[in-house]
Amino acid sequence: MPMRKRHVAIVTALPPSRTTLSEYGHHLVQALHDAPEVGEVTVLAEDHPTGGTYETSDRMRVVPAWRFNSLLTPLRLVQALRREQPDIAVFNLHFSSFGSSRPAAALGLFAPLLARLAGITTVTVLHNIVETVDLEAAGFRYGRIAQRAMRAIGTLLTWVVLRSHVVTTTMPRYVEILRRKYRADNVVLVPHGAFEIPPPPPARDELGRRRILTFGKFGTYKKVEPLIDAVKRLQETREVELVIAGTDSPNAPGYLAAVEADHGGPGITFAGYVPEADVPATFLGSAITVFPYTSTTGSSGVLHQAGSYGCAAVLPDIGDLADLLAEEGYAGELFEPGEDGSLAEALARLLDDPDRCDEIGIENYYASCGIPIGDVASWILFHSGAVA
């Protein structure tokens, strides 16, 4: 007798939303749609004010069901889940997924608990935990007492999220912390996964070899001023271009426009938002991807993307980035954040040694091939089946 295929609802932002994890959500939705054990996918997406257009099919619908920074998000999501009655509800979450304001972000994290109380099997894909975030480096410059209060609130919210039937995290260290501190026996490791596994990338042309890319949402713990300064230093002796692709972090509106006005110059391009269809060409047009981070708040989707397209990485030896190098086989040139000249020196080492740059790019390509996003979707469904 054939197995009944399941109806999966997934709560996530989708492009063109600039909200955290929208790109990851796009690829996870497609992987769930393609999973053989899934009959129907309902995406409970952000009610985007500009009106997004989404690909759908007879087996996949997109239902606007929440709004960034709205205090009503958890109630709207539970109402939508009650209407849809899925077999499983998957929440694709970062601690700031539902708002840049602290009340909206915090209240949104109650949605998985409310869904479980409504009788729905709930799986939360949790991309970061408060225990590994350097609040000051990430842009939250509070006094000592305020930071302790923030940590306490974060601990409470983590406990709330852990009321899901299953919580998956992308880093082994996260699993250890959650099991030890919260005594949570429902936490499992499901790696981040690679969005796409394209064929091995072709060799970059001369322009690609001297073009440097950084990609993401900038303004909090991702600052581009040190990278611009490093590129300008290199431009004194080399032909080098910098492409800054992406948007402001929801917590730092207007950041990139201000940086462009104050620090822009020849050979420095602010590319803005990159549609999904243009992502491959953006990475393939540069041999080097830089991660100008002062802190980390989870596994890096950009590093997995850069690896898929054979980019060499220049990155700080900090937090979750260091874990990815050690545990998933990624490689790159390291620099010390905050040290004048360290980033420029790391970039120069790759620019002046194209063969080594290519070797690192290929190493990252094979690292990204290890775990495709389709496997991630299968593991999420497998773990949900234990409680469904």
Query: In this predicted structure, what is the pLDDT of residue 384?
Result: 87
Asked whether residue 198 is domain-assigned, the answer is no
Query: In this predicted structure, what is the pLDDT of residue 276?
Result: 83
Q: Do 103 and 44 have their domain in common? A: yes
Q: Do 69 and 45 have their domain in common? A: yes
Closest listed residue to residue 317, CA positions, set 301, 337, 302: 337
Q: Do 61 and 95 have their domain in common? A: yes
Asked whether residue 199 is domain-assigned, the answer is no
Asked whether residue 201 is domain-assigned, the answer is no
Q: Do 85 and 53 have their domain in common? A: yes
Asked whether residue 1 is domain-assigned, the answer is no
How far is Cα 85 from Cα 192, in angstroms, rounded to an integer?
27
How far is Cα 331 from Cα 322, in angstroms, rounded to an integer?
10
Query: In this predicted structure, what is the pLDDT of residue 133?
Result: 66
Query: In this predicted structure, what is the pLDDT of residue 142?
Result: 57
Q: Do 170 and 279 have their domain in common? A: no
Asked whether residue 320 is domain-assigned, the answer is yes
Query: In this predicted structure, what is the pLDDT of residue 236?
Result: 92
How far is Cα 383 from Cα 238, in angstroms, rounded to an integer?
52
How buried is residue 329: exposed, middle or buried, by Cβ count under 10 Å (0-12/13-18/19+)? middle
**Which residue range(s) make up the domain with 24?**
6-193+371-385
Query: In this predicted structure, what is the pLDDT of residue 295?
Result: 75
Asked whether residue 292 is domain-assigned, the answer is yes
Please report where in the chains the tokens 């692709």 appear, as a residue: 245
Asked whether residue 103 is domain-assigned, the answer is yes
Total domain count, the chain: 2
Query: In this predicted structure, what is the pLDDT of residue 138?
Result: 47
Q: Do 362 and 375 have their domain in common? A: no
CATH number for 336: 3.40.50.2000
Query: In this predicted structure, what is the pLDDT of residue 136?
Result: 54
Q: Do 252 and 175 have their domain in common? A: no
Those residues of the chain that have pLDDT short of 70 are: 1-3, 48-55, 133-144, 146-147, 296-299, 326, 386-388
Distances (CA, A) of 110 to 11, 71, 307: 13, 11, 34
Q: Do 154 and 18 have their domain in common? A: yes
Q: Do 309 and 345 have their domain in common? A: yes
Query: In this predicted structure, what is the pLDDT of residue 22?
Result: 87
Query: In this predicted structure, what is the pLDDT of residue 385?
Result: 76
How far is Cα 160 from Cα 385, in angstroms, rounded to an integer?
22
Q: Do 49 and 147 have their domain in common? A: yes
Q: Do 33 and 165 have their domain in common? A: yes
Query: In this predicted structure, what is the pLDDT of residue 39?
Result: 93
Asked whether residue 254 is domain-assigned, the answer is yes
Q: Do 219 and 265 have their domain in common? A: yes
Query: In this predicted structure, what is the pLDDT of residue 258?
Result: 95
